């Protein structure tokens, strides 16, 4: 069992280490002893964070400047341009310009990213994906900086440097890169019960998205909308993918990473190039203080969701990405997303994680881009009103100043216009940005409200909302990750936390590790059973789509393939909206049955079946017999079956399928039934092809 002699329970129920004979006193860089390293300084338990908090500012300042010039987190990213179109006016709820008129379009730039890996890591590790949207509105830029998961690991931003340090490659050995399956990450998670809900999400298929187009996006935090009368409405943001939710499974993920480290970046580029533009609907959950007060959790807690069955998501717009960047560095790498960049009509709540991000992101962009003038880079520039200047103020000079301001009015107010000289911009008291005048009171202290103390009820909600196939993946992911943890007491502590989530889950993990279950870790408040939320599922969930639109189909053929069958399969896939890729042992001119020769799109060794969504095998009897002796061809078919994909085949290809161990089921069809079968995965096949926890 874990030795808890050097651990304490914080006021919000979190566990943290305290100084003792083995642990020196934690201090600032200037030697001041720190009494609380868990919470920012606030005005009241649920009040705003105070800027005088030097402990937080020093810690976050240092963290934000630790890497140059690569992003500290979200370094591996891909992006695209597009537009947002309002489909349902919110003029009664917010005065934000982009939501005023149905049909109004606003330019956007969207960056997707992984979190833990460096810029040179692969696209497809088990990791959270960033989902950041820059809206170039007529009243300035709004950066909605979120993830593909609606909750986060921590409740207070002061813990963010600790989280990332634990998740990144270990400090003494420099590995693992872009992976959480190691001691320091799980040590931190096991000691921070508030992270348990997020741990359930990251062990789920949500962190193995098939493509960027198959991800949901979330603003995570509770924000505010304000209308022209100054009325405030709380809001949470959701991006719903038109292509539907889809993920890979772990064995498939590993093989995709080996075959194509740029798989998701390439998919985004190629989708846009062929006109399969990724598209999302923007939904909002709108509520007032009375609704917030009625829930059994705190809406300011970033480790919690509001289930969609409790508060439905209202669709108010759509976003289409239709142009890839012209230059990766100038746009994707130099794009600076800052959550504090909002426009009139959008504001913030007192979520302490959000409050810390409002400070941190500007600071890190100053370090990464090297100048206070990063807003002048073309990708970051506000567009401004038609015919107007994108930004106008008296801020001058600074490193890399790219404008040439005229006149001597570099201060405000001034009266130079009365003398016929340029006087510069002035404030707009009627239409300028107004902060919601929330009333706050309370003592200055470092504390977390008691309403933040329930760390397990929503983790239990997530587990019990999953399809059985997803539950098996989650349990197996915990087994895999914890099997990489070399320190036994960390595994024990994590299993103790999982007992508070669900006994079945904890038992499956313990059996997978061949370890005894420890006692459940202590909880400050009772764990409650919430109604399951089917909206959280991918498998057999509301956003799982049975379609070929925008998806790729690999067609394996070889010398002597019937030309008519090959053409029929390609044409059928295209008609269904799919993207066919012909794959052959050699990519040059392949002779077909009618004497014609065609070039393959890809070569068998270079395009494993893990990189496509469904597979067709169209061979002559001679080629099938030959390929049955070729390991790459057998593996190609074996993996397609093992990854639960549809396999269409002609009669002559049957010997290759037999050699690969393919068994008859609903997903293994003749060519006539292939296109319909190719629109889905076959989850019922999984117990036949692998052992899961």
515 neighbors 495 (Cβ within 8 angstroms):
yes
Q: Which residue of the set 11, 147, 373, 650 is catalytic? A: 147
111 labeled binding residue: yes
How far, in Å, CA of 94 to CA of 429, rounded? 17
* Strand 314-323 relative to strand 7-9, pairing: unpaired
Q: How many residues does the chain have?
A: 693
How far, in Å, CA of 500 to CA of 529, rounded? 11
The residues near 394 (Cβ < 8 Å, ≥ 6 apart) are: 409, 410, 411, 412, 424, 425
DSSP 207-265: GSBS-GGG--EE--S-EEEE-TT--EEEEEEEEEETT---B--HHHHHHHHHH-TTHHH
DSSP 8-state secondary structure symbol assigned to residue 369: H
* Token pair in block for residue 112: 């997707």
How far, in Å, CA of 241 to CA of 41, rounded? 38
210 labeled binding residue: no
83 labeled binding residue: no
Q: Which residue of the set 11, 74, 373, 650 is catalytic? A: 74
DSSP 487-506: -HHHHHHHHHHHHHH-HHHH
Distances (CA, A) of 20 to 6, 16, 30, 636: 7, 13, 21, 57
Chain-centroid distance, C-alpha 477: 18
570 neighbors 580 (Cβ within 8 angstroms):
yes
How far, in Å, CA of 571 to CA of 556, rounded? 15
How far, in Å, CA of 559 to CA of 584, rounded? 9
- Return the sign of the alpha-carbon dihedral for residues 532, 537, 543, 544: negative
To which H or E segment does residue 191 belong?
helix 183-191
> Which is nearest to 304 in space by CA: 453, 500, 132, 117?
453
> Which is nearest to 476 in space by CA: 513, 503, 520?
513
Chain-centroid distance, C-alpha 546: 23
126 labeled binding residue: no
67 labeled binding residue: no
How far, in Å, CA of 582 to CA of 567, rounded? 10
147 classed as catalytic: yes
End-to-end CA distance of the chain: 23
DSSP 8-state secondary structure symbol assigned to residue 419: G
337 labeled binding residue: no
How far, in Å, CA of 348 to CA of 552, rounded? 41
How far, in Å, CA of 50 to CA of 44, rounded? 10
> Which is nearest to 324 in space by CA: 389, 265, 392?
265
65 classed as catalytic: no
Per-residue b or e along 408-444, where b marks 16 or more CB atoms closer than 10 Å to that residue's CB: ebeeeebeeeeeeeebbeeeeeeeeeeeeeeeeeeee
**Active-site positions?**
74, 147
Residues in binding site for heme = 71, 111, 160, 357, 361, 368
Residues in binding site = 71, 111, 160, 357, 361, 368
């Amino acid at each position: 069992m874990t030795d808890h002699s050097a651990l304490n329970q914080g006021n919000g129920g979190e566990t943290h280490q305290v100084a003792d004979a083995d642990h020196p006193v934690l201090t600032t860089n200037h030697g001041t002893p720190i009494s609380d390293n868990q919470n920012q300084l606030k005005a009241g338990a649920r009040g705003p964070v105070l800027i005088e908090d030097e402990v937080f500012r020093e810690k976050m300042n240092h963290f934000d400047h630790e890497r140059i010039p690569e992003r500290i987190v979200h370094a591996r990213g891909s992006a695209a341009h597009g537009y947002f179109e309002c489909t349902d006016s919110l003029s009664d709820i917010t005065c934000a310009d982009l939501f005023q008129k149905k049909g109004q379009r606003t330019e956007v730039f969207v960056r997707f990213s992984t979190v833990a890996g460096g810029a040179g890591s692969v696209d497809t590790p088990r990791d959270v994906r960033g989902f950041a949207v820059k809206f170039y509105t007529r009243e300035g830029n709004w950066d909605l900086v979120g993830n593909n998961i609606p909750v986060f690991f921590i409740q207070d931003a002061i813990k963010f440097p600790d989280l990332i340090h634990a998740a990144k490659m270990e400090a003494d050995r420099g590995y693992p890169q872009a992976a959480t399956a190691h001691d320091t990450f799980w040590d931190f998670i096991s000691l921070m019960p508030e992270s348990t809900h997020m741990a359930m999400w990251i062990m789920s298929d949500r962190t193995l998205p098939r493509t960027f187009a198959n991800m949901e996006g979330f603003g995570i935090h509770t924000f505010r909308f304000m209308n022209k009368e100054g009325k405030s409405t709380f809001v949470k943001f959701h991006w719903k993918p038109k292509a539907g939710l889809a993920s890979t499974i772990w064995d498939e993920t590993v093989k995709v990473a080996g075959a194509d480290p740029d798989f998701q970046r390439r998919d985004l580029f190629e989708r846009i190039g062929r006109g399969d533009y990724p598209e999302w609907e923007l939904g909002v959950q709108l509520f007032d203080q009375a609704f917030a007060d009625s829930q059994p959790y705190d809406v300011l807690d970033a480790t919690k969701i509001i289930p969609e069955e409790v508060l439905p998501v209202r669709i108010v717009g759509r976003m289409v990405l239709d142009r890839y960047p012209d230059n990766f560095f100038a746009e994707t790498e130099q794009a600076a997303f800052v959550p504090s960049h909002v426009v009139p009509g959008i504001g913030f709540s007192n979520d302490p994680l959000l409050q810390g991000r409002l400070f941190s992101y500007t600071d890190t962009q100053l370090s990464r881009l090297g100048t206070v003038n990063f807003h002048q880079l073309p990708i970051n520039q506000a567009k401004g009103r038609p015919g107007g200047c994108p930004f106008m103020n008296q801020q001058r000079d600074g490193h890399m100043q790219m404008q040439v301001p005229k006149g001597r009015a570099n201060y405000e107010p001034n009266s130079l216009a009365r003398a016929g000289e340029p006087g510069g911009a002035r404030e707009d008291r009627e239409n300028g940005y107004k902060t919601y005048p929330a009333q706050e009171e309370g003592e200055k202290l470092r504390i977390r409200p008691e309403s933040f103390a329930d760390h397990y009820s929503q983790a239990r909600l997530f587990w019990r909302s999953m399809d059985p196939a997803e539950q098996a993946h989650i349990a197996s992911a915990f087994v895999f990750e914890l099997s990489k943890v070399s320190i036994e007491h960390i595994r024990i502590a994590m299993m103790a936390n999982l007992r508070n989530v669900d006994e079945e889950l904890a038992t499956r993990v313990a059996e997978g590790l061949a370890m005894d279950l420890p006692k459940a870790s202590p909880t400050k408040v009772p764990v409650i059973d919430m109604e399951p939320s089917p909206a959280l599922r991918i498998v057999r969930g509301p956003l799982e789509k049975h379609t070929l639109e925008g998806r790729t189909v690999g067609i394996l053929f070889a010398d002597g393939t019937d030309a008519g069958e090959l053409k029929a399969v390609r044409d059928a896939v295209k008609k269904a909206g799919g993207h066919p890729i012909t794959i052959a042992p050699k990519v040059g001119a392949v002779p077909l049955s009618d004497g014609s020769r065609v070039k393959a799109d890809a070569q068998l060794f270079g395009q494993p079946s893990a990189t496509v969504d469904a597979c067709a095998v169209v061979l002559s009897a001679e080629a099938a017999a030959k390929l049955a002796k070729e390991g790459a061809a057998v593996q190609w078919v074996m993996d397609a079956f093992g990854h639960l994909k549809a396999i269409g085949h002609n009669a002559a290809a049957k010997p290759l399928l037999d050699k690969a161990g393919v068994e008859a089921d609903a997903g293994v069809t003749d060519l006539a039934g292939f296109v319909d079968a190719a629109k889905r995965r076959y989850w019922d096949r999984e117990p036949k092809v692998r052992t899961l926890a």
